[in-house]
């Protein structure tokens, strides 16, 4: 009995030490909001049942959060008098989606455990749950991130790679975040789901030689030389609602939608890894899951830093 108590005390002290040390833990809400994970999962599932694409949008939100001053939900903040938010940054404006789903999840969590679950953790969980529900791999999500009290549009424009990026630009924008070449190629596999606007791939389908000509032609009707900037095309022409290795198979056939996608298979050192992923679901899933965990650990606010926002769109 007494020794059980001692073990418990040691465990509590140890976990407090971990938190103070800035670590995330999958068990973070076990005591304070045991239903947190099932609430997020149920909401994500419902949202995807309503609109399949939203799973892709939620996965992308976490990426766009983490690459801009860390995974701190800064991407969710609306503009205020004291800062311009990230929502209107170039890669985000008229493009990022899923804010209402995050609001719905947050409302449910506030009802169950007020003031406990951060918006940054919601994004990390929703990204994982979306991936799983669309057929991809699963992973344990480290939790305990807190939310920023500010946002920075310039930083979003600086740190999020544009679709015109060449391979070396892609490598460096990931390495700035502590992510490797392999992480970059694996994470790009997220483009096995979701859609892009005409404005993101127009230059490629009219000007480039590294694109299958029938594929390019098939896209031109819905994405004219000028106008219709917001018309959509699937990032994975074959199965854009299934998380699979088809994205990599497409690259082998010069059917990457974005310039940055095809840069991964264009006669360079990246080719062999793309080839590997295009034939081996197990390896891709393993590398993707590992890279997502790594991405989720970018500069989290922990301990007393930041806050747990009550409304994900504004600071408390």
Just list the catalytic residues: 64
Residue from 170, 211, 289, 308 binding ligand HEM (CB under 6 A): 170
What phi-psi label fits residue 160: left (phi over 0), alpha (psi between -120 and 50 degrees) or beta? beta
Distance from chain centroid for Cα 188: 10
Of 240 and 262, nearer to ligand NAG (C-beta) is 262
Of 15 and 88, nearer to ligand NAG (C-beta) is 88
Beta bridge partner(s), residue 25: 143
Cα-based angle 96, 99, 104 (whole degrees, multiple of 5): 160
Residue from 15, 25, 88, 238 binding ligand NAG (CB under 6 A): 88
Residue from 71, 120, 126, 187 binding ligand HEM (CB under 6 A): 187
Cα separations (Å) of 203 from 161, 208, 229, 231, 293? 16, 7, 12, 14, 33
For position 95 contacting ligand NAG by CB under 6 A, the verdict is no
Cα separations (Å) of 288 from 110, 137, 167, 245, 263? 31, 8, 19, 11, 19
Residue from 33, 53, 223, 308 binding ligand HEM (CB under 6 A): 53
Ranked by CB distance to ligand NAG, the top (closest) residue is: 210
φ/ψ of residue 197, rounded to 5? -85, 150
CB-based contact 198:230 (threshold 8 Å): yes
Residue from 63, 159, 248, 285 binding ligand HEM (CB under 6 A): 63
Cα separations (Å) of 111 from 33, 58, 108, 117, 177? 11, 22, 5, 11, 35
Q: Which residues in the 224-263 window bind ligand NAG by CB under 6 A?
A: 259, 262-263
Of 142 and 256, nearer to ligand NAG (C-beta) is 256
What six digits make up the tokens of 254?
A: 């010069």
Beta bridge partner(s), residue 146: 301
CA distance 24 to 38: 19
Q: Which residues in the 70-99 window bind ligand HEM by CB under 6 A?
A: 95, 97
For position 177 contacting ligand HEM by CB under 6 A, the verdict is no
Q: Which residues in the 151-190 window bind ligand NAG by CB under 6 A?
A: 152, 154-155, 158, 166, 168-169
Q: Which residues in the 189-228 window bind ligand NAG by CB under 6 A?
A: 208, 210
Of 75 and 196, nearer to ligand HEM (C-beta) is 196
Q: Which residues in the 211-240 window bind ligand HEM by CB under 6 A?
A: 235
CA end-to-end span of the chain: 43
> Residue 49 class from Cβ within 10 Å (0-12 exposed, 13-18 middle, 19+ buried)?
exposed
Closest approach of ligand NAG to the CB of residue 166, in Å = 4
Of 117 and 187, nearer to ligand HEM (C-beta) is 187
What residues line the site for ligand HEM (CB under 6 A)?
53, 56-57, 59-60, 63, 95, 97, 161, 163, 165, 170, 187-188, 190-191, 193-197, 200, 235, 258, 260
């Amino acid at each position: 009995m007494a020794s059980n108590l001692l073990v418990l005390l040691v465990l509590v002290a140890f976990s407090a030490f971990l938190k103070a040390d800035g670590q995330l833990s999958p068990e973070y809400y076990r005591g304070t909001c045991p239903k947190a994970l099932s609430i997020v999962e149920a909401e994500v599932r419902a949202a995807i049942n309503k609109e399949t694409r939203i799973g892709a949008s939620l996965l992308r939100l976490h990426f766009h959060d983490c690459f801009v001053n860390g995974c701190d939900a800064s991407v969710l903040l609306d503009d205020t008098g004291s800062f311009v938010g990230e929502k209107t940054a170039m890669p985000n404006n008229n493009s990022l989606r899923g804010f209402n789903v995050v609001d719905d999840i947050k409302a449910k969590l506030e009802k169950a455990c007020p003031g406990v679950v951060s918006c940054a953790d919601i994004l990390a969980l929703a990204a994982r749950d979306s991936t799983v529900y669309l057929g991809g791999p699963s992973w344990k999500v480290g939790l305990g991130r807190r939310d920023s009290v500010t946002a920075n549009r310039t930083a979003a424009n600086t740190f999020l790679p544009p679709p015109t990026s060449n391979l070396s630009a892609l490598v460096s924008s990931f390495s700035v975040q502590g992510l490797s070449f392999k992480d970059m190629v694996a994470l790009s596999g997220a483009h096995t789901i979701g859609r892009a606007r005409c404005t993101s791939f127009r230059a490629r389908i009219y000007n480039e030689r590294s694109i299958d000509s029938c594929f390019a032609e098939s896209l031109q009707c819905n994405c004219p030389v000028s106008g219709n900037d917001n018309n959509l095309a699937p990032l994975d022409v074959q199965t854009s609602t299934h998380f699979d290795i088809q994205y990599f198979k497409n690259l082998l056939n010069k059917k990457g939608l974005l310039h940055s996608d095809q840069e991964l298979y264009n006669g360079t050192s990246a080719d062999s890894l793309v080839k590997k992923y295009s034939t081996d679901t197990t390896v891709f899933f393993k590398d993707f899951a590992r890279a997502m965990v790594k991405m989720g650990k970018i500069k989290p606010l922990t301990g007393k830093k930041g806050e747990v926002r009550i409304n994900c769109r504004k600071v408390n």
